Structure 1
Amino acid sequence: MTPPPAEAITRLAQTGRVRVDMPLGTELTQGLHHALASPEMVWNRAIRTPFGTDVPATVFDAQDPVEKARLIAMVHEEAGEGFQFIYDRLRLGQARAMGLPLPPPLDGLHALFNAPEWLDWARSLTGDDRIAYVDAQATRYLPGHFLNGHDDRHEDAGRLYAYVLNLTPRWRVEWGGLLAFLDDWVRVSETFVPAFGTLNVFRVPQPHLVTQVADFAPDPRLAVTGWWRTTPPPTA
Structure 2
Amino acid sequence: MSSSFSWDEPEGLAARGTLIVLSGRGEHGGVYERFGRRVAFDAYRVRALGDPAADPSVLDEAAKLLADESLPGPKVVVGSDTGAHYAVQLAADADALILVGLPTSPWTSGSWEEEVEARTACPTHQGRLAADPAFRRGALAENPRLPAPRLDRVTVPVLALHGTDDAVSPLETAREAYAGSGVRLVTFHGGRHDVLNDALHRTAAATVVLFLERLRLSPELPVIAEGPA
> Do both proteins adopt the same fold according to a TM-score greater than 0.5, normalized to the shorter chain?
no
TM-score (norm 2): 0.27
Larger strand percent: 1
Question: Greater RCO between the two (CA within 8 Å, min separation 6)?
Answer: 1
Larger helix percent: 2
TM-score (norm 1): 0.27
